């Protein structure tokens, strides 16, 4: 369906053209004086200069021309030359009725041209537990992926596991100290390796920090870990078998945790998958004269004219020939281009890595790893802070594990729900989980991604204010009205909506009609917070309508059925929005 703003704009443009003015003056925006009008056009002010005529004369002419137009209930010309517009109630009701009939998309059109977009998010590190630092990438990335899919793009989510580097050598070294007799350490062994891993996930999660701690104290230990890393990276069989055990155990656990967050990935590729592409990539960079040796290391210059700050060269290989985080990201671009040929790659990563990604992107372009047609975007997010304004920590001051954080909020929510309700324990727990997830996700996504924010459990879990639970509460309210209506033996079908009779009703209808425009804008700016802002406005508009209207006591059956359609549409749109953000609503709460 055509966006409401476009329909309105088209009419106003026609109005200008009919009076002999350039139609481009008919640009319309949402009113910044909602007390006076719903939409406005300031074009007459600009036209006045071009046509050397008083602006209010032009505005008068256009207002006159638009009189009787079925899209408007009023078009007023106001000095010095504004056009104040109000939407016709019957037109609006028809528009919403068409939205209601479009059950999947509510009138929001797919992009004309589909594109393949890869999204790199999550970025957990193998054998290290997920901590709150990984939360934002998962939540934001998942939502961008869903928004893109809704807009009609082919979205491929890749978790980009941190599974390469010293942490693997550390684990191997520690394991060797504890269980030196394991066959993986026997270099003369030529048989098959056992299928069962020699550790559990909890052992693994304990082994890594222990090893990491030891390596900081003990130089010999660290050297051993570096040696093990080197051997692993150069193909030592037993170590590679261990690596796949570490990966399997870790990935199984990660999947379980991401599932709790309602986050899923299409690809479970990791840094290690990029390694085979490094040698050819490096050769090509050297052969084409992009890479050169500087102080022993192999680098590519990436500074550009017009840089306002120093952008250091991108280091490809260290002086000992070892590859780096950079090298892996570049080689990852190689396989992504070879296997998927995406039109766009979006990286959802901590904004502190911005300079790093500037280097990687420039290097990839300069050396021809990506074609001109492939866009690279860094979507950097800020830090999640505690109430003290410092990065979120446990009460003891340690790094908060994601699992513990979620468990804490689930409990908090469970308490609230069981206070409000007589619900069976199991059902209350389930509901608490659903609502808690909305609290965490909405609390995060309602902030502009690039900003730091304060994770305030009390505020996020509140049923009032700009929170996830408030949105869910509004949906639950609508579900319960629909149930009551149907309990009277009436069918909540798709009855025609009637023209609004009150301000509350019209306010809700106007808000609904903006759905597709809001989604398009949120997608264009990769801004889930705009979906949140739209939802919050819509939920508020609904609640005002609800408090100002006796829906169930309405005696006129047609009018009541129209209210029910309005309610169904609101519910559908809100549910669509929370789906795009990656959470869902319970039936009761
Ligand atoms: N594993 C990294 C970390 O924990 C994040 C990876 C981000 N993605 C990327 N392509 N570099 O910091």
Residue 535 lies in a domain: no
Please give the distance, rounded to the nearest whole angstrom, from the Cα atom of residue 162 to the centre of ligand 1: 7
What does the pLDDT read at residue 492?
83
How far apart are alpha carbons 486 and 549 in whole angstroms?
19
Please give the distance, rounded to the nearest whole angstrom, from the Cα atom of residue 267 to the centre of ligand 1: 15
How far apart are alpha carbons 3 and 9 in whole angstroms?
10
Angle, alpha carbons 141-130-179 (nearest 5°): 140
Q: Whose CA is nearest to atom 8 of ligand 1?
A: 123
Please name the residue that has the structure tokens 């193909």. Answer: 235
Q: Whose CA is nearest to atom 5 of ligand 1?
A: 123
Please give the distance, rounded to the nearest whole angstrom, from the Cα atom of residue 307 to the centre of ligand 1: 25
Please give the distance, rounded to the nearest whole angstrom, from the Cα atom of residue 137 to the centre of ligand 1: 9
Does pTM top 0.85 for this prediction?
yes
Residue 83 lies in a domain: yes
Q: Whose CA is nearest to atom 3 of ligand 1?
A: 123
**148-165 as b/e, with b when 16 or more CB fall inside 10 Å?**
bebbbbebbbbbbbbbbb
Please name the residue that has the structure tokens 């693994």. Answer: 204
R_g over Cα of the chain = 29
Please give the distance, rounded to the nearest whole angstrom, from the Cα atom of residue 209 to the centre of ligand 1: 19
Q: Whose CA is nearest to atom 6 of ligand 1?
A: 123
Q: Whose CA is nearest to atom 7 of ligand 1?
A: 123
C-alpha dihedral, 347 to 348 to 351 to 357, nearest 10°: -10
Pocket test for ligand 1, best of 160, 165, 272, 363 (most atoms within 8 A of CB): 160
Instruction: Answer for the pair 313, 300: CB distance below 8 angstroms, yes or no.
Output: yes
Atom of ligand 1 nearest to the CA of 125: 1
Atom of ligand 1 nearest to the CA of 133: 4
By CB neighbour count within 10 A (0-12 exposed, 13-18 middle, 19+ buried), where does 317 fall?
A: buried
Please give the distance, rounded to the nearest whole angstrom, from the Cα atom of residue 278 to the centre of ligand 1: 18
Q: Whose CA is nearest to atom 12 of ligand 1?
A: 123
Is the omega angle on the peptide bond into residue 468 within 30 degrees of 0, that is, cis?
no
CATH number of 55's domain: 3.30.1360.70
Please give the distance, rounded to the nearest whole angstrom, from the Cα atom of residue 369 to the centre of ligand 1: 20
Please give the distance, rounded to the nearest whole angstrom, from the Cα atom of residue 95 to the centre of ligand 1: 45
Please give the distance, rounded to the nearest whole angstrom, from the Cα atom of residue 123 to the centre of ligand 1: 5
Residues of the chain with pLDDT under 50: none
Please state, in angstroms and as integers, the Cα–Cα distance from residue 381 to each residue in 120, 353, 368, 466, 531, following that order: 13, 10, 28, 21, 17
Count of Cβ atoms closer than 10 Å to residue 104 Cβ: 8
Provide the number of structural domains found in the chain: 2
For the record, the structure tokens of 494 come out as 């798709």
Count of Cβ atoms closer than 10 Å to residue 418 Cβ: 15
How far apart are alpha carbons 206 and 170 in whole angstroms?
12
Angle, alpha carbons 549-550-551 (nearest 5°): 95
Q: Quick one: which H or E segment has residue 292?
A: strand 291-294
How far apart are alpha carbons 559 and 93 in whole angstroms?
12
Pocket test for ligand 1, best of 121, 122, 123 (most atoms within 8 A of CB): 123
Residue 241 lies in a domain: yes
Atom of ligand 1 nearest to the CA of 350: 12
* DSSP result, 510-552: HHHHTHHHHHHHHHHTT-HHHHHHHHHHHHHHHHHHHHH--TT
Q: Whose CA is nearest to atom 2 of ligand 1?
A: 123
Please give the distance, rounded to the nearest whole angstrom, from the Cα atom of residue 325 to the centre of ligand 1: 9
Instruction: Answer for the pair 582, 263: CB distance below 8 angstroms, yes or no.
Output: yes
Beta bridge partners of 323: 317
Please give the distance, rounded to the nearest whole angstrom, from the Cα atom of residue 70 to the centre of ligand 1: 54
Task: Name 150's Cβ contacts closer than 8 Å, sequence gap at least 6.
Answer: 105, 108, 519, 523, 576, 580
Pocket test for ligand 1, best of 127, 162, 165, 330 (most atoms within 8 A of CB): 162
Q: Quick one: which H or E segment has residue 316?
A: strand 314-317
Please give the distance, rounded to the nearest whole angstrom, from the Cα atom of residue 94 to the centre of ligand 1: 49
Domain that includes residue 196, residue range: 166-260
Strands 453-454 and 375-381: unpaired
**578-589 as b/e, with b when 16 or more CB fall inside 10 Å?**
bebbbbebbeeb
Taking each helix axis from N to C end, the angle separating 278-287 and 325-340, rounded to the nearest 10 degrees, works out to 100
Strands 375-381 and 344-350: parallel
Instruction: Answer for the pair 312, 359: CB distance below 8 angstroms, yes or no.
Output: yes
Atom of ligand 1 nearest to the CA of 134: 4
Atom of ligand 1 nearest to the CA of 161: 1
Please state, in angstroms and as integers, the Cα–Cα distance from residue 99 to each residue in 104, 475, 476, 499, 507, following that order: 10, 18, 21, 15, 17
Atom of ligand 1 nearest to the CA of 325: 11
- Give the pocket of ligand 1 (CB within 6 Å): 120, 123, 125, 160, 162, 329, 347, 349
Final residue of a domain: which of 229, 260, 291?
260
Instruction: Answer for the pair 323, 280: CB distance below 8 angstroms, yes or no.
Output: no
How far apart are alpha carbons 302 and 285 in whole angstroms?
13
How far apart are alpha carbons 435 and 444 in whole angstroms?
14
For the record, the structure tokens of 419 come out as 């206070």
Please give the distance, rounded to the nearest whole angstrom, from the Cα atom of residue 220 to the centre of ligand 1: 29
The three-class DSSP label of residue 50 is helix
What does the pLDDT read at residue 551?
95
Atom of ligand 1 nearest to the CA of 332: 10
Please give the distance, rounded to the nearest whole angstrom, from the Cα atom of residue 376 to the centre of ligand 1: 16
**Cα-Cα-Cα-Cα dihedral sign, residues 284, 233, 399, 437:** positive
Residue 78 lies in a domain: yes
Angle, alpha carbons 200-204-205 (nearest 5°): 120
How far apart are alpha carbons 482 and 494 in whole angstroms?
13
Residue 199 lies in a domain: yes
What does the pLDDT read at residue 394?
74
Beta bridge partners of 391: 385
By CB neighbour count within 10 A (0-12 exposed, 13-18 middle, 19+ buried), where does 534 fall?
A: buried
Residue 530 lies in a domain: no
* 8-state DSSP, 131: B
Residue 71 lies in a domain: yes
Task: Name 143's Cβ contacts closer than 8 Å, sequence gap at least 6.
Answer: 441, 445, 528, 531, 580, 581, 582
What does the pLDDT read at residue 166?
87
Q: Whose CA is nearest to atom 10 of ligand 1?
A: 329
Final residue of a domain: which of 212, 243, 260?
260
Taking every pair of Cα atoms in the chain, the longest distance, rounded to a whole number of angstroms, is: 95
Instruction: Answer for the pair 544, 480: CB distance below 8 angstroms, yes or no.
Output: no
How far apart are alpha carbons 368 and 7 in whole angstroms?
44
Residue 149 lies in a domain: no
Please give the distance, rounded to the nearest whole angstrom, from the Cα atom of residue 224 to the centre of ligand 1: 25
Atom of ligand 1 nearest to the CA of 329: 10
Final residue of a domain: which of 206, 236, 260?
260
Pocket test for ligand 1, best of 267, 314, 349 (most atoms within 8 A of CB): 349
């Amino acid at each position: 369906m055509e966006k409401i703003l476009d329909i309105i704009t088209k009419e106003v443009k026609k109005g200008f053209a009919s009076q002999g003015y350039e139609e481009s003056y008919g640009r319309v925006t949402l009113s910044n004086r909602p007390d006076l009008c719903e939409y406005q056009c300031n074009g007459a002010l600009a036209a006045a200069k071009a046509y050397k005529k008083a602006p209010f004369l032009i505005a008068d002419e256009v207002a006159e021309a638009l009189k009787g137009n079925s899209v408007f209930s009023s078009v007023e010309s106001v000095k010095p030359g504004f056009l104040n517009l109000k939407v016709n109630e019957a037109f609006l009701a028809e528009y919403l009725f068409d939205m209601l009939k479009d059950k999947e998309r509510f009138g929001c059109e797919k992009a004309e041209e589909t594109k393949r977009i890869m999204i790199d998010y999550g970025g957990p590190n193998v054998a290290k537990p997920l901590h709150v630092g990984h939360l934002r990438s998962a939540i934001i990335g998942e939502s961008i992926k869903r928004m893109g899919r809704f807009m009609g793009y082919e979205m491929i989510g890749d978790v980009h596991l941190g599974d390469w580097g010293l942490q693997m050598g550390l684990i191997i070294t520690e394991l060797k100290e504890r269980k030196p007799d394991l066959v993986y350490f026997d270099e003369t062994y030529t048989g098959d390796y056992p299928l069962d891993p020699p550790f559990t996930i909890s052992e693994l999660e304990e082994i890594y920090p222990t090893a990491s701690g030891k390596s900081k104290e003990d130089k010999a230990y660290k050297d051993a870990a570096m040696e093990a890393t080197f051997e692993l990276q150069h193909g030592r069989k037993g170590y590679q078998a261990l690596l796949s055990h570490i990966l399997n155990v870790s990935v199984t656990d990660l999947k379980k945790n991401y599932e709790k967050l309602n986050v899923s990935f299409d690809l479970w590729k990791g840094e290690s998958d990029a390694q085979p592409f490094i040698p050819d990539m490096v050769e090509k960079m050297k052969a084409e004269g992009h890479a050169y040796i500087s102080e022993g290391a192999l680098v590519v210059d990436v500074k550009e004219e017009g840089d306002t700050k120093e952008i250091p060269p991108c280091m490809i290989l260290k002086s000992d020939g070892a590859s780096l985080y950079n090298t892996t990201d570049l080689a990852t671009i190689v396989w992504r281009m070879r296997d998927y040929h995406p039109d766009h790659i979006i990286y959802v990563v901590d904004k502190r890595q911005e300079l790093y990604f500037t280097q990687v992107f420039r290097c990839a372009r300069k050396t021809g790893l990506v074609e001109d047609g492939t866009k690279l975007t860094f979507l950097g997010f800020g830090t999640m802070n505690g109430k003290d304004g410092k990065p979120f920590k446990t009460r003891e001051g340690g790094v908060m594990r994601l699992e513990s954080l979620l468990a804490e909020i689930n409990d908090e929510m469970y308490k609230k729900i069981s206070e409000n309700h007589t619900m069976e324990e199991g059902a209350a727990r389930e509901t608490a989980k659903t609502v808690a997830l909305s609290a965490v996700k909405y609390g995060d996504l309602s902030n502009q991604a690039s900003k730091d924010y304060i994770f305030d459990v009390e505020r996020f879990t509140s049923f009032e204010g700009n929170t996830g639970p408030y949105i869910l509460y509004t949906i639950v309210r609508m579900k319960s009205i629909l149930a009551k209506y149907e309990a009277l033996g009436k069918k909540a079908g798709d009855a025609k909506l009637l023209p609004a009779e009150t301000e509350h009703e019209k306010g809700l209808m106007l808000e609904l009609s903006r759905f597709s425009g809001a989604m398009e804008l949120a997608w264009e700016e990769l801004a889930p917070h705009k979906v949140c802002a739209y939802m919050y406005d819509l939920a508020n508009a609904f609640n005002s309508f609800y408090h100002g209207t006796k829906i169930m006591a309405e005696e006129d059956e047609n009018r009541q059925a129209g209210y029910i359609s309005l309610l169904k549409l609101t519910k559908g749109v809100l549910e669509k929005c929370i789906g795009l953000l990656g959470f869902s609503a319970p039936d009761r709460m």
